[in-house]
C-alpha cells in the first residue's frame, strides 16, 4: 500500500535540496527518498545481520526461537561473517581504485601515455625513500618503475606487510603482529576473508572480526594510501585554495558537466578537455558562455582539492543536481553512483556517460576509458556534453541558489608548509591546549537521516570545544554549505582554535580530500604519534562517520579503530543480532587495539563523548585537559 511521502522539510537541512525535491514532486520524478519510503520497514533479520545466504542448504534466518542455521551456525558466526564480507566490499572498492592509479603510473613508465605524467617528482622520491627504494643518482622514471613494482606487490601474497606500514609507530605494529592483524597483502586479505566466510571455515566470531580489521588495515595503509599518494604524484599535491559549493555552482548560461564517482583518472582529463579552445568555441556557437565542470561526491573532492573546481553536492544531491534541468552531462567512473541517475537523466536532456568497464550502467553512453587514449576520449565526452546544450529546455531550468565560498586543499604537505616546515607548531598548539584534539568527520549521506543534519551539527559542536575538525568525502560539501570551510568560521570556534586558525588564516574545519584521502589523516596521526614517541591510541584524536551508508565507510571506520582511533558512528552497522560481535565493536576492541566504536545518534552527546575521550588522552600525556 502506498504511504504518504515524508514532508520535504524532514528530508534535508538545505534550501537548494528542498527546492529540487519540490521540483521533482511537481514533475513526477522519483528520488531516493521516495524509494526508501517504499522499502520501509526493512527486513528485521537483515537489519540485525542474522540472515545467511552463504550456501544452498540455506538461506537461513536465526533468532531466539530458532537459533541455528542448517549447518549449525549461530547468530555470532553469521553476524561476524556478514560484517566481515561487508567491510571487505569496502576495502576492495578503495583498493581497486588504488590499483587503477598504479596502472596509470605503469602506462607512464612504459611510455604508453602522454596524457598523464609525473607532476610531483619530489613526492614520488619522498614516497620511494619511505618504502626503501634507492633514489639517489637515479632518474625519475627509474624510481617510478620501482615504486610501481613495490605497490603492485603490496596487492600480492609475498610480503610480510604492506609497504606503508613503514609509517606506523613500532608499538602499533607490534600490537598488530601479536593479534595476527598485520595486513600482508591487499588482495590476500580480501581473498582470505571470502575464504574464511565460506561455509565451514572461520566459525569463531572474534577471530573473523580480527581478520575483518586486518582487511580494513590493508585498505587504509595499503590500497587507499597508495591511491592517495599516487594521485598526488600524477595530478599534483593539493595546496590551499578557494572554491565554491552547492547547486548554485551549476550555471544557467554554461554547458554544465558534472563529474561523479571517485577516481581522478577520468575527471582530471574531462576537466582538461573542457578547457580546450575548440570545445569552448563550439559551446559558444551553441549559445553558451563556456563550459563548466563541477564535482559530485569523491571525484569532485579530488578535483576540488587539486584544481579548485566547484562542488555541486554530496551523495544525496546527485539526483537533485540533474533536476536543475541545466546539466548537459554527468560523467561517472565508479562507486556511490545511484543507478537512478540514468533514469533521472532520461527525464531531461542530460547525457549519462559511464567510463569504467567495472561500473557499467544499462542505458548509459559507455566509454572504455584507458590511459593510452584518455585525452582523445575525454574530448569526445566533452563534445557530447556540448552538443547536448542545444537540447536543453530553458523552461525547465531552475538553479535554486547562489554558491557559497569554501577553502580547500589541505594535504599534509600543505599543512606542514603552512606551519613553517614541520609539525612542531601543531604539536606545541596541542600541548598548549589551543588545539585540544582533532576529529576526522568523514563519509556519506543516508536517506534514513535528515541530510547533513548530523554532519554539520557534529562539526559545529566540536570546534566550539577547541577540537580541530578534518573533513573528507561527503562531509566536505556539508561543512562547506554550512559556512564552516572558510577562515571566518573561527567565529563559531572556541578561543584556542580562534587563536591558532586565526593566526594561520585557515578555517577551523579543514578539507582533507576524498574518502581514500582518509589515508592522509592516518598518516598525520602516525606522524604525530612518532613525533611524541607514543602510540596512535595515545593521541587526543577521534573519527566519526555520522551519516554513513556504504561498505567503504565501514572499512574506514574499522581501519580507524584498528589503528587506535576512537570512532563514532551515527547509526550501527547490521551487527546487533550478535551480542558477541556488538560487544567487541563497542567495548572489547579497546583492550585489543586501544580504541572502539561508539554509536550515538545525538550529535551533542557524541561531541561530549569525544570531549571526554580527549580529556582522558590529554591527561595521560601529561597535558592540561
Which parts of 532-551 interact with ligand CUV (CB under 6 A)?
Answer: 550
Residues 6+ apart with CB under 8 A from 169: 526, 529, 530, 534, 535, 536
Site string for ligand SF4, 161-200 (x = CB under 6 A): --------------------------------------x-
Q: Counting contacts by CB under 6 A, is residue 55 touching ligand SF4?
A: yes
205 in contact with ligand SF4 (CB under 6 A)? no
Q: Provide the minimum distance between the beta carbon of 398 and ligand CUV in the complex, in angstroms, as a whole number.
A: 25
d(C-alpha 258, C-alpha 330), whole Å:
5
Task: Select the binding partner of residue 550 from ligand SF4, ligand CUV, none (C-beta < 5 to 8 A, by kind).
Answer: ligand CUV
3 state DSSP class of 228: helix
Residue 620 C-alpha cell reads as 595521560
* Cell 525535491, located at residue: 21
Is 43 annotated as contributing to ligand binding?
Answer: yes
Q: Say if CB 332 and CB 359 are below 8 A apart.
A: yes
401 is in an annotated binding site: no
| Cα separation values, 63 from 73, 80, 104, 180, 200, Å | 12, 15, 49, 31, 20
Residue 472 CB, nearest distance to ligand CUV (Å)? Answer: 8
Residue 52 in the binding site for ligand SF4 (CB under 6 A): yes
Whether residue 231 contacts residue 264, with contact meaning beta carbons closer than 8 Å, is answered with yes
Tell me the closest approach of the beta carbon of residue 273 to ligand CUV, in angstroms: 23
Q: Is 46 in the site for ligand SF4 (CB under 6 A)?
A: no
What is the residue-wise DSSP string for 285-352?
Answer: HTT-S-EEEEEEHHHHHHHHHHH---EEE-GGGHHHHHHTS--SEEEE-SSS--THHHHHHHTSSPEE
Residue given cell 581522478 in the structure block: 264
CB 429 within 8 A of CB 275: no
Cell of 464: 566550539
Please tell me the count of residues contacting ligand CUV according to CB under 6 A.
15
CA distances from 404 to 463, 483, 493 (A): 20, 7, 19
Give one word for 539, left, alpha or beta, with left for phi > 0 and alpha for psi -120 to 50: beta
Is position 336 annotated in a ligand binding site?
yes
Cα–Cα distance between 387 and 447 in angstroms, integer?
34
Dist. CA 589–CA 180, nearest whole Å: 14
Instruction: Rule CB under 6 A: choose which of 57, 201, 531, 604 binds ligand SF4.
Output: 57
Q: Decide: is 400 part of the binding site for ligand CUV (CB under 6 A).
A: no
Q: Is 443 in the site for ligand CUV (CB under 6 A)?
A: yes
Q: Answer yes or no whether residue 71 interacts with ligand SF4 by CB under 6 A.
A: yes
Residue 315 CA to residue 298 CA, distance in Å, equals 9
Say if residue 46 carries a ligand binding annotation. no
List, in sequence order, every residue forming a beta bridge with 468; answer none if it has no partner. Answer: 438
* Spatial CA neighbour of 501 closest among 419, 564, 558, 381: 419
312 lines the binding site for ligand CUV (CB under 6 A)? no
Which cell goes with 476? 566536505
Q: Nearest approach, Cβ of 299 to ligand CUV (angstroms)? A: 8
Which one of the spans 8-16, 48-56, 435-443, 532-540 is the region binding ligand SF4 (CB under 6 A)? 48-56
d(CA 219, CA 213): 10
Q: Which stretch binds ligand SF4 (CB under 6 A): 71-79, 206-214, 246-254, 278-286?
A: 71-79
- Taking CB under 6 A as the criterion, which residues in 556-615 touch ligand SF4? none
Question: Is the Cβ of residue 350 or residue 514 nearer to ligand CUV in the bound state?
Answer: 514
Smallest distance from the beta carbon of 68 to ligand SF4, in angstroms? Answer: 8
Under the binding rule (CB under 6 A), the answer on residue 404 touching ligand CUV is no
Question: Minimum Å distance from CB 207 to ligand SF4?
Answer: 17
- 73 lies in the site for ligand SF4, by CB under 6 A: yes
- Positions touching ligand CUV (CB under 6 A) are 262, 297-298, 314-315, 336, 443-444, 473-474, 514-515, 550, 552-553
Known binding site: residues? 43, 52, 55, 60, 71, 262, 298, 336, 444, 474, 515
Known binding site for [Ni-4Fe-4S] cluster: residues? 262, 298, 336, 444, 474, 515
Amino acid at each position: 500500500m502506498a504511504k504518504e511521502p515524508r514532508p520535504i522539510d524532514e528530508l534535508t537541512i538545505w534550501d537548494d535540496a528542498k527546492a529540487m525535491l519540490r521540483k521533482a514532486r511537481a514533475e513526477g520524478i522519483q528520488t531516493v527518498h521516495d524509494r526508501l519510503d517504499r522499502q520501509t520497514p526493512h527486513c528485521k533479520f537483515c537489519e540485525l545481520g542474522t540472515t545467511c545466504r552463504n550456501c544452498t542448504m540455506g538461506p537461513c534466518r536465526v533468532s531466539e526461537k530458532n537459533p541455528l542455521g542448517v549447518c549449525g551456525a549461530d547468530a555470532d558466526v553469521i553476524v561476524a561473517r556478514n560484517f566481515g564480507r561487508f567491510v571487505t566490499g569496502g576495502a576492495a572498492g578503495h583498493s581497486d581504485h588504488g590499483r587503477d592509479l598504479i596502472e596509470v603510473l605503469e602506462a607512464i613508465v612504459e611510455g604508453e601515455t602522454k596524457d598523464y605524467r609525473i607532476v610531483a617528482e619530489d613526492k614520488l622520491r619522498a614516497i620511494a625513500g619511505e618504502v626503501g627504494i634507492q633514489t639517489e643518482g637515479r632518474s625519475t622514471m627509474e624510481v617510478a618503475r620501482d615504486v610501481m613494482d613495490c605497490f603492485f606487490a603490496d596487492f600480492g601474497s609475498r610480503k610480510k606487510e604492506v609497504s606503508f606500514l613503514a609509517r606506523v609507530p613500532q608499538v602499533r605494529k607490534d600490537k598488530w603482529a601479536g593479534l595476527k592483524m598485520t595486513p600482508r597483502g591487499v588482495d590476500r586479505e580480501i581473498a582470505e576473508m571470502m575464504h574464511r566466510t565460506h561455509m565451514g571455515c572461520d566459525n569463531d566470531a572474534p577471530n573473523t572480526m580480527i581478520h575483518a580489521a586486518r582487511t580494513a588495515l590493508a585498505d587504509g595503509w595499503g590500497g587507499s594510501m597508495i591511491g592517495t599518494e599516487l594521485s598526488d604524484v600524477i595530478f599534483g599535491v593539493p595546496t590551499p585554495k578557494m572554491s565554491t559549493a552547492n547547486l548554485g555552482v551549476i550555471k544557467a548560461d554554461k554547458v554544465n558537466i558534472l563529474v561523479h564517482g571517485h577516481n581522478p583518472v577520468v575527471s582530471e582529463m574531462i576537466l582538461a578537455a573542457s578547457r580546450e579552445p575548440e570545445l569552448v568555441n563550439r559551446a559558444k556557437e551553441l549559445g553558451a558562455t563556456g563550459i563548466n565542470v563541477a564535482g559530485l561526491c569523491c571525484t569532485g573532492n579530488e578535483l576540488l582539492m587539486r584544481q579548485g573546481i566547484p562542488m555541486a553536492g554530496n551523495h544525496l544531491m546527485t539526483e537533485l543536481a540533474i533536476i536543475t534541468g541545466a546539466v548537459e552531462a554527468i560523467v561517472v567512473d565508479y562507486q556511490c553512483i545511484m543507478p537512478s541517475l540514468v533514469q533521472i537523466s532520461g527525464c531531461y536532456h542530460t547525457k549519462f556517460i559511464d567510463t569504467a568497464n567495472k561500473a557499467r550502467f544499462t542505458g548509459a553512453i559507455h566509454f572504455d576509458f584507458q590511459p593510452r587514449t584518455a585525452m582523445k576520449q575525454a574530448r569526445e565526452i566533452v563534445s557530447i556534453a556540448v552538443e547536448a546544450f542545444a537540447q536543453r529546455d530553458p523552461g525547465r531550468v531552475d538553479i535554486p541558489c547562489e554558491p557559497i565560498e569554501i577553502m580547500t586543499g589541505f594535504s599534509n604537505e600543505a599543512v606542514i608548509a603552512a606551519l613553517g616546515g614541520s609539525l612542531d607548531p601543531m604539536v606545541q598548539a596541542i600541548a598548549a591546549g589551543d588545539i585540544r584534539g582533532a576529529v576526522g568527520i568523514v563519509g556519506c549521506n543516508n536517506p534514513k537521516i535528515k541530510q547533513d543534519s548530523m554532519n554539520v551539527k557534529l562539526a559545529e559542536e566540536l570546534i566550539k570545544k577547541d577540537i580541530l575538525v578534518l573533513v573528507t568525502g561527503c562531509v566536505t560539501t556539508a561543512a562547506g554549505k554550512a559556512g564552516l570551510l572558510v577562515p571566518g568560521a573561527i567565529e563559531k570556534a572556541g578561543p584556542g582554535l580562534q587563536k591558532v586558525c586565526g593566526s594561520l588564516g585557515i578555517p577551523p574545519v579543514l578539507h582533507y580530500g576524498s574518502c581514500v584521502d582518509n589515508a592522509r589523516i592516518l598518516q598525520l596521526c602516525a606522524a604525530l604519534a612518532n613525533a611524541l614517541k607514543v602510540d596512535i591510541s595515545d593521541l587526543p584524536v577521534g573519527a566519526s562517520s555520522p551519516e554513513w551508508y556504504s561498505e567503504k565507510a565501514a572499512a574506514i571506520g574499522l581501519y580507524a579503530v584498528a589503528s587506535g582511533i576512537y570512532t563514532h558512528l551515527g547509526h550501527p552497522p547490521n551487527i546487533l543480532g550478535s551480542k558477541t560481535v556488538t560487544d567487541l565493536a563497542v567495548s572489547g576492541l579497546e583492550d585489543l587495539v586501544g580504541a572502539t566504536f561508539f554509536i550515538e545518534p545525538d550529535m551533542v552527546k557524541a561531541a561530549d563523548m569525544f570531549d571526554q575521550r580527549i580529556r582522558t588522552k590529554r591527561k595521560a600525556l601529561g597535558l592540561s585537559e
